[in-house]
C-alpha cells in the first residue's frame, strides 16, 4: 500500500511492560462485512514474545504478593472502564469480526465486563483444605500460589469475551500474562490495553503480543519461562501446541471444537424448542463452539419440526452487521466462507437436501457489502451420520436435521463423533432428560434451553473437545499451584 493509504488504516501496537511498542512488520486485517483491509496487526515473533515474557516476569513478584482484595479492586475498575466504553468496544468487535452489532452489544462486551467482575469476586471466596492426624500429632493443610507467567491464546469468534475469560482468572490469582489474540480479531484486545493504566494494572501484569499462531503463538508455547498455556481454538492447533510444549512439561488448558447435537423428543415443547434451536444453530453466524450442528428429531414429529424450523430459520435476516435489525452478519474470512460453503456442496453431492439458505434462496446485500463474506442460514436434511457434514466441525451457519426412533439409538448416534463439547436435550419428561444427559459424552448438557451459563460451574469438553475445565473453582485450580504442608506439633 502507498503511504497515504496505509496512514488511513488503523495500526495496532504490541503492549509490553505497560507501553505500546511498534513492530517491524505487520499483517493486514480485513473487515469481513466489506472485504476491505482496515487494520494492520503486528506480525510479532520470538523477539517480541521474549520482551513480553521478560516484562511479565519482572512484574510477577509485586503482583503475586498483592492481597486478593487489592487485585479484586483493580479487576473491578477495569470492568467499569470497559463498560463505560461498551458502545465503542461493540462497534469495534462487530467491524473486526463480522458479528452483528446487536450480538456484540448484548453478548460479547457485557460478558467481557462480567468476566472481570466475576473473578474479582470469586477470588475472595476460595478456602483451602486442612486435615488432622491426632495420633501422629500432625495437621496438614494446602496452600495455593500463582504459577508465574501464563501464556493465553484465543480464537477469533468471540474475541474479547474469550480473551478476558482467561486474563481475568489468571491475574486475579496473581499470575502475570502474555496474551495472544487471533490475528484476525485483535482490535478490542488492543483497546483494552489502553485502559490498563487507568484501571491500576501495574506495567507488565498484562502484556499483549499480536501476530499469527505459527510465529507469535508458537514462540509463546515454546518459551521455557511460560509454565502454563491456556488455549481456546481448534483441535488441530491444540495437537500442535501439545507437541510443542511437551519438552517443557507445561500445564495446558485446551478448549476446542465441537459437533454439538440437539436431541428433540416427541414430547418436547416445540414453541420453545424451535426458536431456541434456530438460535443455537445460527447465533453469531454459527461461529460459536457451542452451536448446534446436528439436530436429531424423533420420527413422530420430524415433518412438523422440519417445516416449522425452516420457516423460523428463514426469518433470520442476513446483511450489514452494523444494522441493528440484522440477525446474521459476515463470516470471519473469505477462506472460511469458502470452506463452509463447500460443506453444503458436499452434502448435496451425497444426496442430502438443502431446505433453505445457501444455493436455494437469494441473498440480497446492500451495495457496500457486496464483497463481504456473507451466507444465509442453511438447513440440510437427509444427511448420513458418516457424512463429513455430520462428523466435522463446520463452524458456520449450517445445521443438519435427521430423524431417530428410540432413546437408545439417539444416544449412540449423538455420541458417534470425535467431539464432546455441548449437547441440548428437549423433552417434557424429567426422567428422560436426566437419563439422556448422564449418557451423553459431552462436557455440557442443556435440557430445554441453550447457553444458560453459571460461571461458577465447570466449562469445557470431553474427547477431542478439550482437556481441562474453566470456571470459578476450575480456573482457580488451573492458574495456581497447590502445595500440601504438614506440621507436627
Ligand atoms: P485456531 O486454532 O486456528 O486459532 C486459535 C488461536 O491459536 C489463534 O490465536 C491462533 O493464532 C493461534 N494459533 C494457531 N496456530 C498456533 C500454533 N501453532 N501455536 C500457537 N498458537 C497458534 O482456531 P480459530 O479458527 O481461531 O477458532 C475456531 C476454533 O476455536 C473452532 O474449532 C472452535 O470450536 C474453537 N473454539 C472453542 C471454544 C471452547 O471454549 N471450547 C470457544 C471458541 C472457539
Cβ–ligand 1 distance for 156 under 6 Å, the answer: yes
Q: What is the pLDDT of residues 353-412, one digit of tens each?
A: 999 999 999 999 999 999 999 999 999 999 999 999 999 999 999 999 999 999 999 999
Q: What is the pLDDT of residues 158-182, one digit of tens each?
A: 999 999 999 999 999 999 999 999 9
pLDDT, residue 240, reads: 98
Cβ–ligand 1 distance for 212 under 6 Å, the answer: yes
Cβ–ligand 1 distance for 466 under 6 Å, the answer: yes
The H or E element spanning position 221 is helix 218-222
Band of pLDDT at residue 135, cut at 50, 70 and 90: very high
Out of 233, 242, 417, mutate this one to test ligand 1's pocket (max ligand atoms within 8 Å of CB): namely 233
Residue 417 per-residue DSSP state: S
CB contact burial 433-471 (16+ within 10 A = b; e otherwise)? beebbeebbbbbbbbbebbeeebeeebbbebbbbbbbbb
> Which atom of ligand 1 has the smallest separation from the CA of 212?
11
Cβ–ligand 1 distance for 211 under 6 Å, the answer: no
> Which atom of ligand 1 has the smallest separation from the CA of 465?
41
- pTM, rounded to two decimals: 0.97
Band of pLDDT at residue 451, cut at 50, 70 and 90: very high
> Which atom of ligand 1 has the smallest separation from the CA of 211?
11
Rounded CA gap, 271 and 275, in Å? 7
Q: What is the pLDDT of residues 234-260, one digit of tens each?
A: 999 999 999 999 999 999 999 999 999
pLDDT, residue 200, reads: 98
C-alpha cell, 402: 435427521
C-alpha cell, 41: 496487526
Bridge partners of 132, per DSSP, are 139
Cβ–ligand 1 distance for 240 under 6 Å, the answer: yes
| Range list of H helices, 68-135 | 68-84, 86-97, 101-103, 109-122
pLDDT, residue 381, reads: 98
Phi, psi (deg, nearest 5) at residue 140: -120, 145
Q: What percent of the chain has pLDDT over 70?
A: 99
Q: What is the largest CA-CA distance in the chain?
A: 81
Positive or negative, the CA dihedral 160, 162, 164, 167 is: negative
Is there a contact between 177 and 147 (Cβ–Cβ < 8 Å)? no
Rounded CA gap, 486 and 468, in Å? 28
Q: Which CATH number fits domain 261-447: 3.40.309.10, 1.10.730.10, 3.30.450.30, 1.25.40.10?
A: 3.40.309.10
Strands (DSSP E) along 395-436, which ranges?
A: 398-404, 419-420, 422-426
Q: At what angle do helices 302-314 and 270-282 cross, to 10 degrees?
A: 50
Cβ–ligand 1 distance for 161 under 6 Å, the answer: no
Query: Which residue out of 183, 255, 393, 470 is catalytically annotated?
Result: 255
Is there a contact between 184 and 31 (Cβ–Cβ < 8 Å)? no
Cα 134 to ligand 1 centroid, rounded to whole Å: 51
Q: What is the pLDDT of residues 92-133, one digit of tens each?
A: 999 999 999 999 999 999 999 999 999 999 999 999 999 999
Structural fold of domain 10-257+465-488: Aldehyde Dehydrogenase; Chain A, domain 1 (3.40.605)
Band of pLDDT at residue 2, cut at 50, 70 and 90: very low
Cα 220 to ligand 1 centroid, rounded to whole Å: 14
Q: What percent of the chain has pLDDT over 90?
A: 98
Band of pLDDT at residue 8, cut at 50, 70 and 90: confident
Phi, psi (deg, nearest 5) at residue 477: -65, -40
The distance of Cα 246 from the centroid of its chain, to the nearest Å, equals: 24
Band of pLDDT at residue 1, cut at 50, 70 and 90: very low
Of 71, 307, 92, give the one whose Cα is nearest residue 199.
71
Cα 24 to ligand 1 centroid, rounded to whole Å: 25
Rounded CA gap, 463 and 361, in Å? 37
Cα 432 to ligand 1 centroid, rounded to whole Å: 35
Rounded CA gap, 446 and 269, in Å? 15
Cα 162 to ligand 1 centroid, rounded to whole Å: 11
Residues 6+ apart with CB under 8 A from 48: 14, 16, 21, 23, 42, 209, 211, 216, 219
Domain extent listing, the chain: 10-257+465-488, 261-447
Positive or negative, the CA dihedral 411, 417, 419, 421 is: negative
Out of 32, 44, 108, 155, mutate this one to test ligand 1's pocket (max ligand atoms within 8 Å of CB): namely 155
Q: Mean of the per-residue pLDDT values for the chain?
A: 97
Q: At what angle do helices 68-84 and 86-97 cross, to 10 degrees?
A: 70
| Range list of H helices, 290-358 | 302-314, 334-349
255 is catalytic: yes
Cα 375 to ligand 1 centroid, rounded to whole Å: 22
Strands (DSSP E) along 147-279, which ranges?
A: 149-153, 176-180, 206-208, 228-232, 251-255, 260-264
Rounded CA gap, 302 and 305, in Å? 5
Rounded CA gap, 217 and 352, in Å? 39
Cell numbers 477495569: residue: 78
| Length of the chain counted residue by residue | 489
The H or E element spanning position 16 is strand 14-16
The SS3 assignment for 226 reads coil
pLDDT, residue 4, reads: 45
The SS3 assignment for 262 reads strand
Is there a contact between 416 and 463 (Cβ–Cβ < 8 Å)? no
Band of pLDDT at residue 7, cut at 50, 70 and 90: low
- How far apart, in Å, are the Cα atoms of 423 and each of 52, 86, 258, 270, 440? 39, 31, 10, 17, 8
Amino acid at each position: 500500500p502507498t503511504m497515504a493509504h496505509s496512514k488511513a488504516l488503523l495500526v495496532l501496537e504490541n503492549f509490553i511492560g505497560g507501553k505500546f511498542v511498534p513492530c517491524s512488520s505487520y499483517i493486514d486485517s480485513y473487515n469481513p462485512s466489506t472485504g476491505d483491509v482496515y487494520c494492520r496487526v503486528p506480525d510479532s515473533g520470538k523477539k517480541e514474545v521474549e520482551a513480553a515474557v521478560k516484562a511479565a516476569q519482572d512484574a510477577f513478584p509485586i503482583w503475586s504478593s498483592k492481597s486478593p482484595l487489592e487485585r479484586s479492586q483493580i479487576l473491578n475498575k477495569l470492568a467499569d472502564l470497559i463498560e463505560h466504553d461498551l458502545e465503542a468496544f461493540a462497534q469495534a468487535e462487530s467491524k473486526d469480526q463480522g458479528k452483528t452489532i446487536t450480538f456484540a452489544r448484548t453478548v460479547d462486551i457485557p460478558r467481557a465486563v462480567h468476566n472481570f467482575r466475576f473473578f474479582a469476586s470469586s477470588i475472595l471466596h476460595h478456602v483451602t483444605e486442612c486435615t488432622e492426624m491426632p495420633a501422629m500429632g500432625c495437621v496438614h493443610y494446602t496452600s495455593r500460589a500463582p504459577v508465574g507467567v501464563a501464556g493465553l491464546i484465543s480464537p477469533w469468534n468471540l474475541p474479547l469475551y474469550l480473551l478476558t475469560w482467561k486474563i481475568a482468572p489468571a491475574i486475579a490469582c496473581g499470575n502475570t500474562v502474555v496474551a495472544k489474540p487471533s490475528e484476525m480479531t485483535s482490535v478490542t484486545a488492543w483497546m483494552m490495553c489502553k485502559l490498563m493504566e487507568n484501571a491500576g494494572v501495574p506495567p507488565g501484569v498484562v502484556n499483549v503480543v499480536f501476530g499469527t499462531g505459527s510465529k507469535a503463538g508458537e514462540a509463546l508455547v515454546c518459551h521455557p519461562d511460560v509454565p502454563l498455556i491456556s488455549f481456546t481454538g481448534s483441535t488441530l492447533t491444540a495437537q500442535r501446541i501439545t507437541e510443542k510444549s511437551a519438552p517443557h512439561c507445561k500445564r495446558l488448558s485446551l478448549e476446542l471444537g465441537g459437533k454439538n447435537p440437539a436431541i428433540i423428543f416427541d414430547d418436547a415443547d416445540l414453541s420453545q424448542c424451535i426458536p431456541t434451536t434456530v438460535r443455537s444453530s445460527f447465533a453469531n453466524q454459527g461461529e460459536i463452539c457451542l452451536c448446534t450442528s446436528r439436530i436429531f428429531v424423533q420420527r413422530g414429529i420430524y415433518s412438523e419440526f422440519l417445516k416449522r424450523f425452516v420457516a423460523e430459520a428463514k426469518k433470520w435476516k442476513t446483511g450489514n452487521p452494523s444494522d441493528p435489525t440484522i440477525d446474521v452478519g459476515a463470516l470471519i474470512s473469505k477462506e472460511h466462507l469458502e470452506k463452509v460453503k463447500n460443506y453444503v456442496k458436499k452434502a448435496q453431492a451425497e444426496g442430502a437436501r438443502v431446505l433453505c439458505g445457501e444455493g436455494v434462496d437469494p441473498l440480497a446485500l446492500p451495495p457496500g457489502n457486496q464483497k463481504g463474506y456473507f451466507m444465509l442460514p442453511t438447513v440440510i436434511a437427509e444427511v448420513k451420520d458418516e457424512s463429513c457434514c455430520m462428523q466435522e466441525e463446520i463452524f458456520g451457519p449450517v445445521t443438519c436435521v435427521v430423524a431417530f426412533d428410540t432413546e437408545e439409538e439417539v444416544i449412540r448416534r449423538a455420541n458417534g463423533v470425535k467431539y464432546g463439547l455441548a449437547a441440548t436435550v428437549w423433552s417434557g419428561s424429567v426422567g428422560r432428560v436426566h437419563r439422556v444427559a448422564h449418557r451423553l459424552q459431552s462436557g455440557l448438557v442443556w435440557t430445554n434451553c441453550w447457553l444458560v451459563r453459571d460461571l461458577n460451574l465447570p466449562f469445557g469438553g470431553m474427547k477431542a473437545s478439550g482437556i481441562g475445565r474453566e470456571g470459578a473453582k476450575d480456573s482457580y485450580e488451573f492458574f495456581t499451584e497447590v502445595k500440601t504442608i504438614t506440621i507436627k506439633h
